[in-house]
Each structure stands twice: as C-alpha cells, then as structure tokens.
Structure 1
C-alpha cells in the first residue's frame, strides 16, 4: 500500500493531468469552451477533478504528513495557476469589465457614470478589451468601490487581461500566507492548505478567469488573521474592504464580533466604507451601478432564481409574493443564526482560530446556499475558512459548483440539485453526529 505522501503525490499528478486535459478542450478564439459537446466534456473532466480533489482532502485530513507534503501542495498549486494564467479567459468575460473600469478611471472618469457603449467613452475603446465586455450597451459597472480602486491601481500598471489576472493571483498569495499563519496558530497541519490551494473551482475561477472574488478572498483572509490576533479594529476595517469588493462577505461579520467585540470593528468598518465610496459619489444613486437590476436579471424578483422555489414551482403554482416570503424567511433565520454566533461562548478546548473560521464558514455557506447564484465562481470563497475549520458540506459547496459551467436543462432546480442535494445531506449528517456526541 502506498504511503499517504505518495498517495497525495499521485492525486496531485492526476489533478494536474485533468487540469491540462480540460484546457485542451477549449477551442482557441471561442468565448466559451467551444461546442456544447466540448463544454459538456469539459465540465465532466472538471467533475472528475473535484473527485480527485476530495480524495486529496481526505488524505490531508486523516494522515500525519511530513513537511515535504506541504511543499508539494504549494508547488503544485503554483504550477497549476501559472498554467492557467497564461491562457485567455473563456469561462467568463467579467475580467474585461475590470480592465475597462481601470482604464476609464485612468482617464479621470467615474466608472459609475456611463455604460461602456456610451459615446462619451468612445475614445477609450480598443479592439482587445471593449468588444468582449458583457452587457456593454445597457449595464453600468456593478462592482463596489474597493474593487474599483483595485482596478484603477492595476490599470495604471497594465492595460491587459493577463496583468489583471496576475494581480488576482497575488491576492490569492496573500490569502495562502494568511491561511498558513492561521493553521500554525491553531496548531493544525499546514498541509491543510490543500483545501484551498488544490480546489478546482478556485483554480479555474481565479487563475483562468481572474474573478475579483480573489481580491475579496485575500482581504477576508487578512481580516481573519487580524481578528485571530485580537486586532479588532483592523479586522473590521479589512472586512469592510472585502465587503466593498463583493457584498457577500458582509454575512461573516457576526463571527468577528463574537464575545462583545462590536464598537471598534464597526466604527473602523464604517470609516472604510465612507472613505471608499467618497471618490465616486458624483454618480449619485448611480454609485450602485447595475446592482438593482441584477436581481431581476437573475430571477430573484419572481423566485425562479432560488433553487427551493424553482423546485416548488414544478409542483404547485407559486403565489406572486413567493420571492418576498422566501427572502423574509431566510432573513429571519439568518438573523437568528447571526445572533447565536455573535453571543455564544466558545469552548475553551478549541483554538480561537478554529472557532472563528468555523463560524465564518457556516455563515458564508448558508448565505451563499440560500442565495444560490448560478455562477460557479460565487462559491469559491467558501474554501477559505474550510482550511482551518474543515466541514464536509462547506468543502463540497466550495468545489462542486464547477457543474454550473453548463446548464443542460435550462432551469434552476434539477441540475443545481446535484450540488445542493449532497450539500444538504452532508450538513444533516454532521448535525446528527453532533447531537449524538452531545
């Protein structure tokens, strides 16, 4: 029988082969994988890579591995990211908007004022970026001020997609360093960095497509480390920055104020929010960009964008208020959970870093699952807290949404059920085990 380190090396080799094999399915020049058949094969390969990844996670969690295993994990993570960095993005075109927003700001223009196709921005159009911007003729930018500041900084150093992708990978590097520090503080094996570093959805979302979620991940990791070091004000300020990259990280705030640490992180966070919004307020209400219309585009106003309601709609005719009822129920449940997380006393037998990341992972996973966006990369951030506080349901949700790169049934229940169904089973299984232990 192979040793655990050998098994990990073999699984790493398999993950590498699958990643490179998936790349060969892309038709050069195609804005997606290529034909529907190629897209289906591509997602099939990614699904197998998720299986390999989960086996690797099992090895990392169940065996005492030498320090050389951590070096292997990090080396392979870097290699895979470099391989994807050099490829053009083809699973999403969002990065072209990032580059465009950076160039708009470099020209001294508020990015929230105009849609890319507006004649006022005609002098900025170029053949490499502008033609590939999605929603160019009707949507102002949706990205919050911290993301815009990042786009502006990167845009002054590089006007290309590869430069923006490289900047996102640097943010990932910050996240990995913070995770290694958190693992060391918690007394956990550093090889568990594999949970983030080898996650296939993380790889494709950030190294290939350069999604801005990588910036949010880097900031959230910094915030977790600051909170673990009892730098509450700093943690609140950095978390606010993460929220103004992608609004979703706000859901983990209760984990940061557990134990009554409220006023300092709240004041610091509010200060950062005001400071980041201030330069863009000339757009007035337009500073929210495309966000108000995004919910309608995703079907959240009718309820069809929610997995549970989409399933119920196959059985009964939903009332017009179904989406509002669902939103209120989720909000009430999440408020109760947030209050419990913020006020409960942690066990003295558990490292504070584990408790912090477990609470953050629970809040993040439940909020993301409740919103259930159909874009795969929205789930990649869940791998971050799972490194320090491994949870089967959270790890599954952080990787399995690679399936969302295709939608064979063109509806929001059956195919997504392949992700949410197992996640629910894993969560219930963990809950039952916890009750039995009590």
Structure 2
C-alpha cells in the first residue's frame, strides 16, 4: 500500500474519532474524551511520517482538506472543555460600552445593562473575578466583538490566528529545507483542533504573534521581532522566555523596546491602578494552587518525599526563576544562530517553562504544539499529547488525581529528554570510534 493510501486511511480514522468525541464526552465523560483524542494524536505521529513519503501536492491537498473538515465539524458544538470564550466576549462588550474591563466583576450591578441570556450566564467566576487577561488580549476581544458578540465570531477570529500559525510553520519548514507536509503534525493534532476550533482559546493569538515575531527576528530584524513577541507575552506571559532566543548578548536596545511596549499597552487601562493585573494577583494564583505550591509538580513530588515546609514555595519559585534565567542566558549566548538551532533552543525553553510552572489546563500547551512540526522532537510530542490528560471537567466522571496526570505529562517529558541525551551520547561515541 502506498504512503498516500495509508495517509488517507489515517485521515478516515481521525474523522471517525473526532466525530464520536463530543458524544462520548457527554455520555461517558472526560476519560472517554482523553482516550479518543490520545489515539488521534498517536495517529497524527504516524501521519507525519507517512506524509513525508507521499507525493507532495496530493498529500498537501489531503492534509488541508481533512484539517478543514475536522475544524468545521467541531465548530458545530458548543465549547466542550472551557467557558473562557464567554469571558472574552463579555470583556469586549464591556470595553465597547466605555468601561475598563479590569474595574468590575461581571455580576457587579454597574454592568447590569450589559447582561443577556446568551453570554452572561456562561461566564466563569462571574461574582468573584474581574478579568485576568492582559491588554493585548483585551484589544483583540474589543476588535472581534465589534464584528459580532457571539461564540462563532470569536472562534472564527481564533481560527484566523491559526491560519497565520499554519502559514508561518510552512514558511519555516521551507526555509529549513524540510518537507512542508510536516505541517500535518500541527493541522491534525487534536489539541489545537479542540482547544482552538472548539474552545476558541486566545492562546491562538499568542502563538500567532510569537511565531510572527520569530519569523521577523530570525530574518534579521530583531527589534521588530521582539516587539511582536512582547505583544504575544501581553496575551499570555508564558511566551516571555522566547525573547531570549532572539536576543543578541549586550544588545541594549531590545529590553527598553519590550518595556515600552508593555507600558503603552497597559496605559489605556491604568485608571484602575494595580487592578490592571486583574484576577491574576487577587485570586488566580491561589485558586490554581500556585501560591500554596500543591499544583507545582516538582514541588508536589518533593513534598511527597520530604513533607511540606514553611517557605518552600518561595524557595521553589526562586530556584525556578534562576533555572529559567540561566537557561535563557545559555540560549542567548549560543554560538550556533541557525534557524534549526534557534527554534530547537526556544522549544526547550518553552518546555522548561511549562515544566517549572506546570499549568493545570491543556490549552496552555498550545504554546509548544507548532514545534511538533518545526522540530519534530519526542519531548514536544510527549508534552502536547499528554496535555490532553488535563481535560478534567466533569465532577461525576472517574477522577484521575492531577498529581498522576502531571506525573505522566512531565515525567514523560523528563524521560524523553533523558532518552534524547542518551541517543546523542551514543551517536558521539560511535562517531569517535569511526574516527579512530
């Protein structure tokens, strides 16, 4: 059987798996969703290898046709795993009314005139949290909702961001002289299908800006690239370490540019003072178990062995910051500035950031999903697939403790890194033997 025929067979299997996933989720719960999407992700690994051996034009037509079918299908369903998109629409509506979105909870009487039956009842933390989203995300919400205050309009906007992501992946692959069919690793991956096309997460905007910044910076325009990456970090800050991948040591222009962009973006919202940090500092860090440390995976493992001690969260955060800083400097001072090495180093930085901060939700891992196509490294595949296990939304479903799911996720990452290091070591030993 030809590679194209086998690729077509995998496409059919993915269509079936995706078709039954919403119904399995509603009847059997989270674990059914996790099982089906994990199988789909494993099929995608096989598809990535087959696509490289199939005729280019036919393979690309098939890849994009299936990607469009899958996304079009999941658009038919209300968001399965998150209600965040309703907050996006609400924030856009609040701003359009001339009100600072960081000022009031959605349930505040001052916003009573903005409530409706389609959006307001679905907003999470309606009476406890002002918005958490940084200013660039807020600009985006305002712009999109001027075209339509609906879930469909917001999801289509996120899909437009994803189109930018796909174009940039293909441009990077061409520049690295890699098969452009490797874009299938992203397009058929269930994580972006469900978290962007169905969930409509703003991470799509973050990743689009990040890749745009990388493309510009690695094309020789570092300051412009840094500006785009700074905007990306003002959608969600997890992307900030990427700046180290484009910074040239002793370049004194880039830090002020990044700071100036942050100040300018926050400026329209400063009427609430420190409230511009929204729910982040007033509840989110506590709610997500970061202040207490029990959702920080490495610290949680440490406590299982040595117990909990006063101040251990502070010590952990200091050590995590130092590790990230040292790793970022190592990337910045690298001697090999090729596209391949740069993207690989940035990928490692992002994986390390996710490991140290260990977020609780699968959509945070969209950050590294483009790298399964760009780098194809086992650690990126492991993390992007295992992140599906964090899709725990239904209380009545059989509950897998989060320490277990995170141990699979991040333990798999550490194992993949160890195996990669061992493989490189064996390769170097073999090369030395040949030279002798």
For the aligned pair, the TM-score class normalised by the smaller chain equals over 0.9
Give the C-alpha shift of residue 263 in structure 1.
3.4
* Contact in 1 for aligned 2:22/2:80 (Cα 8 Å): no
1:146 corresponds in structure 2 to 136
C-alpha distance after superposition, 1:299-318 (max 9, x if no partner): 11222111222233333422
Give the C-alpha shift of residue 106 in structure 1.
0.7
* Contact in 1 for aligned 2:48/2:181 (Cα 8 Å): no
Q: Distance in 2 between matches of 1:433 and 1:67?
A: 34
2:304 corresponds in structure 1 to 314
1:14 corresponds in structure 2 to 13
Q: Is 1:24 matched with 2:62?
A: no
Q: Is 1:340 matched with 2:330?
A: yes
2:36 corresponds in structure 1 to 45
Q: Distance in 2 between matches of 1:129 and 1:88?
A: 12
1:369 corresponds in structure 2 to 355
| Aligned residue among 275, 287, 311 for 1:286 | 275
Residue 270 to residue 342, structure 1, CA distance change in 2 (3 Å): same
Q: Distance in 2 between matches of 1:60 and 1:313?
A: 45
* Contact in 2 for aligned 1:310/1:412 (Cα 8 Å): no
Residue 385 to residue 270, structure 1, CA distance change in 2 (3 Å): farther
Q: Which SS does the other structure have where 2:402 is aligned?
A: coil
Q: Distance in 1 between matches of 2:411 and 2:96?
A: 46
2:434 corresponds in structure 1 to none
Give the C-alpha shift of residue 46 in structure 1.
1.5
1:415 corresponds in structure 2 to 405
Q: Distance in 2 between matches of 1:145 and 1:432?
A: 43
1:399 corresponds in structure 2 to 385
| Aligned residue among 366, 380, 405 for 2:366 | 380
Give the C-alpha shift of residue 261 in structure 1.
7.5
Q: Is 1:274 matched with 2:263?
A: yes
C-alpha distance after superposition, 1:194-251 (max 9, x if no partner): 1211111111100001000000011111111111211112101100110000111001
RMSD over aligned Cα atoms: 1.8
* Contact in 1 for aligned 2:210/2:228 (Cα 8 Å): yes
Q: Distance in 2 between matches of 1:271 and 1:303?
A: 32
Q: Which SS does the other structure have where 1:245 is aligned?
A: coil
Q: Distance in 2 between matches of 1:153 and 1:212?
A: 13
TM-score by length of 1: 0.92
1:185 corresponds in structure 2 to 175
* Contact in 1 for aligned 2:383/2:412 (Cα 8 Å): no
2:93 corresponds in structure 1 to 103
| Aligned residue among 371, 376, 389 for 1:390 | 376
Q: Which moved more, 1:71-80 or 1:425-434?
A: 71-80
Q: Distance in 2 between matches of 1:232 and 1:71?
A: 34
* Contact in 1 for aligned 2:4/2:54 (Cα 8 Å): no
Please, which runs of 5 or more residues in structure 1 have no aligned partner? 26-32
Q: Is 1:54 matched with 2:45?
A: yes
Q: Which moved more, 1:73-82 or 1:150-159?
A: 73-82
* Contact in 1 for aligned 2:289/2:295 (Cα 8 Å): yes
1:355 corresponds in structure 2 to 341
TM-score by length of 2: 0.93
Please, which runs of 5 or more residues in structure 2 have no aligned partner? 429-436
Give the C-alpha shift of residue 164 in structure 1.
0.3
| Aligned residue among 202, 207, 210 for 1:217 | 207
Q: Which moved more, 1:83-92 or 1:236-245?
A: 83-92
Q: Which moved more, 1:126-135 or 1:355-364?
A: 355-364
Q: Which moved more, 1:191-200 or 1:102-111?
A: 191-200
C-alpha distance after superposition, 1:374-419 (max 9, x if no partner): 1111112201233222211112212221111128546431232222
1:82 corresponds in structure 2 to 72
| Aligned residue among 245, 255, 262 for 1:255 | 245
1:207 corresponds in structure 2 to 197
Residue 224 to residue 124, structure 1, CA distance change in 2 (3 Å): same
Give the C-alpha shift of residue 265 in structure 1.
3.6
Give the C-alpha shift of residue 436 in structure 1.
2.8
Q: Distance in 2 between matches of 1:193 and 1:413?
A: 32
| Aligned residue among 186, 189, 208 for 1:196 | 186
